[in-house]
Structure 1
């Protein structure tokens, strides 16, 4: 995959020459070397993929649930065989440190595919109504247009693709223009394990390609992860077309430290909680809200942890912070740091570029004396930048955490779990971790406020419900539908 000029997209079970004569060049964020190029897919490419998905829909939807489950499980197994290759392929495109890429583009996608294979195995297309007199039939919504970002492409693809397939939907995948190669590889794996032609289709491209996915009449639902600005455009267009949309959008999450927080535990989990993937994760807790009485201690912990973290080659297993995805993203992050200084905040660590010859690097940066009206407090930066602000008790900390237009992630640290839980219940956000406990693959992940629309993504998100009254033997018909 790396070092090649790809001219094909994956449509209807075969590699099809793209209709577009435009290409997107890919750059390694660490070396700034050319990685490869892919077609900048045209609306005609999307139309071809959507027609193939539409044609395959009936056969896939009517296939026994156990057959769909077997193919999803086979995809997990084939992915597992090539997980190391996939992790390196993603790192070459987005600069993610390899230790993280092995998890987010290896371990987690496999877990997601296997989880939804199990869910598909027990899926019941027909169930009795609440009063037991009628049938409720659960049918796939249709063709799903999946649009994914570049920061954790395989986790996010599996998070969308697996439940869609389990529900009986067919799909058109549009990967981010920064990370298309690994999604093309999924097309290869799908063909290898025997997915019927048209069930999984992959079209590479940029914004025009994504817009075509939303607009195509053969695409019945849009599943999107990306920025809030892009999400507003997609949701607006999908609303006009009366298409369901599920969108996970931006975030500006808070890590709330109560006055009894275990600072050693916080230090051990600081990077994964606050700046995973060099801060390029939508649920990153980039606002650290610390008790005023322990503010200097918290700042010392944050500074010591980030100052000692290795910055550099993302392929080195010891590297904690790699490059940002592009020169444009680096410029965006640097602009935020400059704005903080201009507005009167103080940079206590980092704030510049490390002494590395090539790559789109920014030093891990800590900012204090931050007013809650400042851009660095309110806006998503998507880089290795933390703001640390003081609070005056649990209620004040909760108000500060909620003082955001976003509501995606969050964290609470306290030796008193019940107290931490009480704070978490009052936080206006969809996912909260107490003392760095991780979420399971089946846990809901719903964005509040500007962080999402359409609810949490699961099999039920991809279903339409049909009520059938007057059936002679409800239980017999429901059992027959499962077979």
Structure 2
């Protein structure tokens, strides 16, 4: 364990490390199961944390149910909820340095990367607080004999299930919208990242949320399944693997609970024949393997015109070669380790299969042994990749990018769409309107022209096996609302 990790532990405090947050207070676990965290920099265990038993989960769901059914939160005015969201944002801001360090300590995200994305939490709270000031929760529509009053009401208690790779930003896409809608929540943290949401609970407590509105547990897959099946939960918002999302969807359908799924990706960056590499490569290269490729929207497929493919391979390979790989605690590090031994083994297996399948290795392709036992993989690029290869179809979740060649725009579109996924993408061109026309043809939920962006007011989510529903923007708020129509008689009716 590094000295910096020790500092993070000290800043968390024993009460936060030792349990969960349920019904407005810190709760000791009722079971004895624990999860051990292993530092990806040196492969050494550095701390453990409790895992929720079924009884702990039942306590949390009951608290959320009670707070929704009898508490003040769902019936507060929109402006009152907005006020608390803004107080929450202030508390989060005070703890942003700690939250960034937690991200690095738990899964090895470079501290510069963590510092860039941690403010997403505050941005989401601010966006939904502002939206509450103008959002129409009721409108009136004329009918044949009177009017209908159409209401948008909170669904009910919601389970928010977050992955290990980007716990805090992903959580606040869900949490800010759920709270704005008037839902109460149970947050389930991943065993790999148990502490982020507990710090968030500390912030919520300081901001003054009523008991039971926000509940936090840490649970494994078995605990997650118990949470999803709980009759106290009316809505599930899940981010994770496609296989996990399918299991959540099936469980929700069994009892007709509402659900949103944000799942995997195998996104394509299409270079058009007029792309200026001097401008476009610096804009897109950081998003091809951010956090060592462990981000769902990573642009892991480069689709290049055959007439320029070798030029693009050489330029991209040179850009990747300049990335600083090293200790994620160092501010200059751009790529750190992958998060775990399991992730490293999985990524190396994908690399080995790509070589067997006939892909040409441009750079990387090995574990970096100069970092001792840490889980470091060299940034890896493959060329001569065909659509049937596993490396072109399957999500690696490691620092691996493939290059595919095309002869026409139609073929570029076909290659981009030849995927079970449809989460993100980008088009690089000297003519943005040409890029826009091509973007309209790509079957993906988000796509950027000459840059990749995310914004709180814009929906995020995927086509095909990248998920169901959207997070962010008014669409993200709507995902936590039910619609009710009340028919009223006309003025002359009895």
Equivalent in 275, 290, 305 of residue 276 of structure 1: 290
Residues 386-430 of structure 1 show CA distances to partners (whole Å, capped at 9, x for unaligned) of: 101111121111110000010000000000111111110000000
Equivalent in 436, 442, 446 of residue 431 of structure 1: 446
Q: CA deviation at 1:287?
A: 0.6
Q: CA deviation at 1:15?
A: 0.6
Aligned counterpart, 1:52: 63
Are 2:250 and 1:236 equivalent residues in the alignment? yes
Are 2:85 and 1:72 equivalent residues in the alignment? yes
Aligned counterpart, 2:20: 9
* Distance in 1, Cα, partners of 2:166 & 2:342: 18
Aligned counterpart, 1:389: 404
* Distance in 2, Cα, partners of 1:39 & 1:61: 31
Q: CA deviation at 1:437?
A: 4.6
Aligned counterpart, 1:86: 99
Assess if the C-alpha contact under 8 Å between 1:42 and 1:208 holds in 2. Answer: no
* Distance in 2, Cα, partners of 1:446 & 1:313: 32
Aligned counterpart, 1:61: 74
Assess if the C-alpha contact under 8 Å between 1:260 and 1:414 holds in 2. Answer: yes
TM normalised by structure 2 equals: 0.93
Q: CA deviation at 1:442?
A: 1.1
Task: Name the CA shift for 1:315/1:130 in 2 (closer, same or farther; >3 Å).
Answer: farther
* Distance in 2, Cα, partners of 1:118 & 1:366: 43
Query: Within 5 A, what are the aligned runs for 1:447-458?
Result: 447-456=462-471, 458=476
Are 2:481 and 1:463 equivalent residues in the alignment? yes
Residues 122-161 of structure 1 show CA distances to partners (whole Å, capped at 9, x for unaligned) of: 3443221366822112110000000001111110000000
* Distance in 2, Cα, partners of 1:211 & 1:57: 22
* Distance in 2, Cα, partners of 1:456 & 1:91: 25
SS at match of 1:446: coil
Equivalent in 25, 32, 39 of residue 50 of structure 2: 39
Residues 196-240 of structure 1 show CA distances to partners (whole Å, capped at 9, x for unaligned) of: 000000010211111111011101010000000110111111111
Assess if the C-alpha contact under 8 Å between 1:24 and 1:205 holds in 2. Answer: no
SS at match of 2:175: helix
* Distance in 2, Cα, partners of 1:178 & 1:334: 21
Aligned counterpart, 2:134: 122
Q: CA deviation at 1:256?
A: 0.3
* Distance in 1, Cα, partners of 2:337 & 2:459: 30
Aligned counterpart, 1:223: 237
* Distance in 2, Cα, partners of 1:68 & 1:408: 31
* Distance in 2, Cα, partners of 1:314 & 1:365: 19
Aligned counterpart, 1:479: none
Aligned counterpart, 2:457: 442
* Distance in 2, Cα, partners of 1:470 & 1:32: 66
Assess if the C-alpha contact under 8 Å between 2:287 and 2:452 holds in 1. Answer: no
| Bigger Cα displacement from structure 2, 261-270 vs 110-119 | 261-270
TM normalised by structure 1 equals: 0.95
SS at match of 1:44: helix
| Bigger Cα displacement from structure 2, 61-70 vs 398-407 | 61-70
* Distance in 1, Cα, partners of 2:490 & 2:287: 55
Q: Please identify runs of 4+ aligned residues in structure 1 that moved more than 6 A.
A: none
Residues 41-81 of structure 1 show CA distances to partners (whole Å, capped at 9, x for unaligned) of: 11111110011011111421001111111111111111111
